[in-house]
């Protein structure tokens, strides 16, 4: 039994979100459309104009030079470099392991009917690297490294004009072929359409704010995208064994990303729900990023109290959170029962923070309930699985009669002739195989 807004039944709220991310961002569509049109028509000039308008920076040179890349690398604090290389190594290893599961195929489906598929890396990929509020050192790692592992010919990166130099170093260490000082929707436009400086790419990946998300949505079609990734989300499912301090800490850790971050607890245990409410407010008192995290909690934070485990699972799948943590008595068993999420963190020790930074799984993940139909960014997003077939005369004998009859039934005479021609030539002896 569902409620009228399609939410599962058996769910009450200790705290409801005061705002709706989808409705809040509805206004950005028109502005983004204007930005895309301007960059498509005016190229670099429009990119510079919007950089000045939105980032208060006029980039004379849009592309980061080789000397600037090396300077950023030289300026990178040694421990930060080691930590970045640690993250790169882990993401690389996991991407290689995933790539090994994507296999080419050749099969003789019927005698003489050969089919298969190839694994073909994309030619050119654009990676959007967010870095407005914080210097997200792991952001380039998550998008660029899997592309290089997949064998993409050229990987370009766009990051905000005022991004921390450490992020340029991160793009360089991750293997970006070219790096550009462009942020926001104008970066998506530049990569989608190409400019005098920025090459047109085949696919755009990476998380971003509402403007970046909307831009990806609008250019999709001729240009591929990974998924709608942003603003960020975290939900935690917990029972009576949940730890209020740990749950509150993890929610606020994600909330500090952005004032639009959506954070939530889904539980069957009211005392835990009340304790987490109190703990969140306590931690906000001395959290250095409380201005951002507190606003996110106020506007988009929620605590859902579920009637039983089945209602908890149903509501979690309804939300389809970008990050879903499982803090229950039998976390591994519970993990097998949920199906809609961007990435899953099983047990109290598996924090989103580890994945965000360096553990190896990707932090570019679906938001706004798109986890109902897709997973997060992975090495498979950088390859195409393209099918093929080839037939022997024996194979034509297998499939041509059915194809010819079906085409005739449909009234598609051209199709019927194409199917029948080969069969007639083989049967008449007029076909000479290569």
Q: Residue 258 sits in a domain of what CATH number?
A: 3.40.50.1980
Supply the range of the domain harboring residue 158. Answer: 43-77+122-226
Residue 297 counted as domain residue: yes
Residues 170 and 272 in one domain: no
- Last-in-domain residue among 349, 375, 401: 375
Residue 106 counted as domain residue: no
Residue 33 counted as domain residue: no
Would you write out the chain's pLDDT as a tens digit for each of its 434 residues? 344 468 899 999 999 999 887 788 778 999 999 999 999 999 999 999 999 999 999 998 999 999 999 999 999 999 999 999 999 999 999 999 999 999 999 999 999 999 999 999 999 999 999 876 667 788 999 999 999 999 999 999 999 998 889 999 999 999 999 999 999 999 999 999 999 999 999 999 999 888 999 999 999 999 999 988 878 999 999 999 999 999 999 999 999 998 999 999 999 999 999 999 999 999 999 999 999 999 999 999 999 999 999 999 999 999 999 999 999 999 999 999 999 999 999 999 999 999 889 998 998 999 989 999 999 999 999 999 999 999 999 999 999 999 999 999 999 999 999 999 999 999 998 887 77
Residues 147 and 173 in one domain: yes
Residues 314 and 176 in one domain: no
pTM of the shown model: 0.92
- Last-in-domain residue among 226, 261, 294: 226
Residues 360 and 306 in one domain: yes
> What's the domain count of the chain?
3
Residue 380 tokens read as 């498979």
Residue 22 counted as domain residue: yes
Do 375 and 323 meet the contact criterion of CB atoms below 8 Å apart?
no
Specify the residue for token string 């001395």. Answer: 286
Residues 220 and 243 in one domain: no
Residue 408 counted as domain residue: yes
Residue numbers annotated as active site: 322-323
Residues 222 and 236 in one domain: no
Residues 166 and 126 in one domain: yes
- Last-in-domain residue among 165, 194, 226: 226
Asked if the bond preceding 231 is cis, omega within 30° of 0, the reply is yes
Residue 115 counted as domain residue: no
Residue 6 counted as domain residue: no
Residues 313 and 347 in one domain: yes
Q: Give the span between the Cα atoms of 374 and 21, in whole angstroms.
A: 19
Residues 370 and 298 in one domain: yes
Residue 362 counted as domain residue: yes
Residues 248 and 362 in one domain: yes
Q: Are strands 113-121 and 124-128 parallel, antiparallel or unpaired?
A: unpaired
Residues 187 and 239 in one domain: no
Residues 366 and 396 in one domain: no
């Amino acid at each position: 039994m569902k409620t009228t807004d399609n939410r599962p039944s058996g769910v009450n709220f200790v705290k409801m979100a005061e705002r709706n991310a989808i409705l809040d961002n509805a206004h950005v569509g028109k502005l983004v459309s204007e930005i895309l049109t301007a960059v498509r028509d005016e190229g670099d000039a429009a990119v510079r104009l919007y950089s000045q308008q939105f980032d208060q920076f006029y980039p004379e040179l849009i592309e980061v030079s080789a000397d600037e890349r090396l300077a950023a690398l030289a300026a990178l604090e040694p421990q930060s470099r080691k930590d970045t290389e640690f993250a790169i190594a882990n993401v690389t290893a996991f991407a290689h392991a995933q790539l090994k599961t994507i296999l080419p195929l050749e099969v003789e489906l019927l005698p003489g009917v050969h089919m298969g598929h190839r694994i073909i890396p994309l030619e050119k990929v654009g990676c959007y690297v967010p870095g407005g509020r914080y210097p997200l050192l792991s952001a380039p790692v998550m998008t660029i490294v899997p592309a290089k592992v997949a064998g993409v010919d050229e990987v370009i990166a766009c990051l905000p004009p005022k991004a921390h130099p450490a992020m340029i170093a991160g793009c360089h260490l991750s293997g970006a072929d070219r790096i550009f000082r462009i942020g926001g929707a104008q970066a998506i436009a530049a990569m989608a359409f190409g400019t005098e400086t920025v090459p047109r790419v085949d696919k755009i990946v990476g998380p971003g704010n509402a403007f970046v998300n909307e831009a990806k949505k609008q250019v999709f079609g001729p240009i591929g995208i990974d998924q709608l990734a942003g603003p960020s989300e975290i939900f935690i499912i917990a029972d009576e064994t949940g730890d209020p301090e740990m749950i509150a800490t993890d929610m606020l850790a994600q909330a500090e990303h952005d004032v639009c971050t959506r954070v939530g607890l889904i539980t069957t245990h009211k005392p835990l729900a009340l304790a987490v409410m109190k703990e969140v407010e306590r931690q906000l008192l001395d959290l250095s990023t409380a201005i951002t995290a507190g606003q996110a909690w106020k506007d988009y934070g929620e605590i859902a109290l579920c009637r039983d485990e089945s209602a908890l699972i149903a509501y979690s799948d309804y939300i389809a959170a970008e990050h879903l943590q499982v803090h229950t008595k039998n976390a591994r068993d519970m993990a097998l029962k949920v199906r809609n999420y961007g990435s899953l963190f099983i047990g109290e020790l598996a924090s989103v923070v580890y994945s965000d930074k360096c553990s190896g799984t990707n932090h570019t993940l679906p938001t706004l309930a798109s986890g109902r139909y897709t997973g997060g960014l992975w090495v498979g997003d950088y390859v195409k699985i393209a099918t093929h077939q080839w037939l022997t005369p024996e194979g034509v004998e297998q499939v041509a009669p059915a194809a010819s009859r079906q085409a005739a039934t449909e009234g598609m005479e051209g199709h019927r002739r194409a199917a029948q021609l080969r069969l007639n030539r083989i049967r008449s002896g007029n076909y000479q195989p290569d």
